[in-house]
Amino acid sequence: MTEIEAKCPNCTKRATVDENLTQVNCRVCGFTTSYEDYLEIMKSKAVQMADDLQMDWDKS
Ligand SMILES: [Zn+2]
């Protein structure tokens, strides 16, 4: 059985994806979500980070 590693969006520690790519589970904080939702969360987090960078650029 192979486990795919993911980054927990809740505690940023290591989370695991099951082999069917349906469920993401973090053993550290107990965060569980569907893989589809996980991708959406990570996508919105990336957008947030890009926005923060943009703000930093505007300041300087
Ligand atoms: Zn976690």
8-state DSSP, 7? E
Residue 59 has pLDDT above 80, yes or no: no
- In the chain, the amino acid numbered 44 is S
The pTM for the full model equals 0.75
Check residue 2 and give its pLDDT: 62
Give residue 10 CA to ligand 1 midpoint distance, Å: 5
DSSP code, position 24 = E
CA of 50 to the centre of ligand 1 (A): 22
Distance 13 CA to ligand 1 centre (A): 6
Ligand 1 centre to CA of 56 (Å) is 28
d(CA 6, CA 57): 30
pLDDT, tens digit, 9 for 90 and up, residues 5-33: 899 999 999 999 998 999 999 999 999 99
Q: How far is CA 46 from CA 1, 8, 20, 25, 30, in A?
A: 30, 14, 25, 20, 22
Cα(49)–Cα(60) distance, integer angstroms = 17
